[in-house]
Amino acid sequence: MGLERQVTFGGGGLDRAAHLRGDPAALARLWAADTTRVLPVWRGKPLIAPEGLGWIAPGHVCVAKTRPDAVFLGLADGAARFAVDLSDWAPDDMPDTLGAFLDPSEQRHPDLPCTHVFAELRREMTRLTPLEAELAATAKAILGWQHSHRFCARCGVQSIPAQAGWQRDCPACGARHFPRTDPVVIMLITDGNSVLLGRSPGWPEGMFSLLAGFVEPGETIEAAVRREVAEEAGITVGAVHYLASQPWPFPASLMIGCRGVATTREITIDPVEIEAARWVPREELLAVFAGEHDSILPARAGAIAQLLLRMWLADRLD
């Protein structure tokens, strides 16, 4: 199995059926079909049921009136899947952890089954099937873009959703706006038997992961890898090659996993970018993943960083 099929949010096999997005009659028929299901999302948190995502019928009282703003996600095993934003609903107890690195709170809507909760996708992503993970990531990313790009970037007038949520049109100047995905390089940098790990401020105490950073305009992926490692850790990198990618809807990134070979070893961190960096030998990394290390916690399960590190440990990247 290729790396891309092992990445969380990748390889789910969703038929995005983009040709249906501009067909209002076909979308209306799909919305009314008995097999169609809708995923409610609240403040970026999908509805979660005991068995996976909390799909509900389009006629349910919570979503029946949201049809004009529903996002068509595509076809899952031939059945239509939509997502709707229920962020206007206000729970009695509003958590103060919204937007945190990991929001542990859950919200129960009074009109939905008591077993269904709105929960942070980072917490739930590893227990979803590949198809459901892809659907959840798509829903979170598109609805997040709809919320953050409500006004025309050209003239400032409020834009109108189009193409079943995959486009916004400006009624004033005619500009068309499309969802953006930010490319981010994430790097497995090695020096012989050691791998370079770093940690960002605000991460859980002790958590280390691979270095990462946004690709800048006019920059190649390889150049971004070398620049980011040099900026964050003061390490120069020679050969770079691509490994795998991962959609990362927090809020809308594409993580581009690469491997690079260090040509220097001395670390000089940029404290604005990262809090710490260190070379970790294979033997020490084995202890990290075994939960036996005294100061390092591994990258989050489900993140491409953990997959790449595990594959490197198993010597399965070449």
Structural domains of the chain, ranges and CATH numbers in brackets: 3-148 (no CATH), 149-179 (no CATH), 182-313 (3.90.79.10)
The DSSP bridge pattern shows strands 79-85 and 37-42 to be parallel
pLDDT reported for residue 98: 85
Summarize pLDDT for 163-187 with one digit per residue, the tens.
Answer: 999 999 999 999 999 999 999 999 9
Identify the three-state secondary structure at position 254: strand
Average pLDDT of span 131-148? 97
Q: If pLDDT is split at 50, 70 and 90, which confidence band does 231 have?
A: very high
CB 280 within 8 A of CB 288: yes
Owner of token pair 């008591």: 114
The whole-angstrom separation of Cα 116 and Cα 233 is 44
Token representation of residue 45:
């948190």
The one-letter amino acid code at 128 reads: L
Q: Please determine, for residue 126, whether its predicted confidence score (pLDDT) is greater than 80.
A: yes
Identify the three-state secondary structure at position 148: helix
Average pLDDT of span 43-58? 97
Query: How buried is residue 234: exposed, middle or buried, by Cβ count under 10 Å (0-12/13-18/19+)?
Result: middle
Token representation of residue 153:
């970037």
Q: If pLDDT is split at 50, 70 and 90, which confidence band does 3 have?
A: confident
The whole-angstrom separation of Cα 111 and Cα 256 is 40
The whole-angstrom separation of Cα 257 and Cα 49 is 31
Q: If pLDDT is split at 50, 70 and 90, which confidence band does 6 have?
A: confident
CB 200 within 8 A of CB 184: no
The one-letter amino acid code at 13 reads: G
Q: If pLDDT is split at 50, 70 and 90, which confidence band does 51 have?
A: very high
